[in-house]
Homo-oligomer: A and B are copies of this chain.
């Protein structure tokens, strides 16, 4: 298995983190993002979206961080990370969608603007951030983990850009339950950090 990787990408970190927590071995190939290597061969041949992470396992090619988590969890990890029942899968899917939607367009976009100079609407990213952090905070007041009462791929998908939001001016100071959740993830056996987390 190979991960075409960017160290500063929270989406790539989702995959590195889950692999570390579960002991899955993946070859990491660093891609020079600033040089635009993700828009050139071999990445663009594998992934027409020209994005990182790009992941391969034999003939299988995946382009989305949530999809890579689903694949690794079902194919290679203990079932507890992605239990097989329809209700469990759906509960986790809610947070995979939240990760691709509100968390991506809230704290992740805010960070893209401040840290990497992306031309996005900062005010809009902060509005989305406020809403999703409030909902997360309330959920984590009654729950130690996002889904099913234990760590799952939902936590690996959602945490990185929540934890990196401060690099876009999205502070967690007013969200003690979110801070405690991130601390619980950091205390899991095998946890690895990334720059900013």
Which residue numbers of A lie inside 8 Å of B, CB to CB? Answer: 48-49, 60, 62-68, 70-71, 74-75, 86-87, 89-91, 93-94, 96-98, 100-101, 104-105, 120-121, 124, 135, 138-139
Contacts and interface: CB of A to CB of B under 8 A. Distances in A.
A86 to B, nearest CB: 4
A28 B94 CA distance: 21
Nearest to A89: B70
Contacts of A66: 93, 96-97
A91 B67 contact: yes
Number of identical protomers: 2
Contacts of A68: 90
Contact of A101 (B74, B86, B104): B104
A134 to B, nearest CB: 10
A48 to B, nearest CB: 6
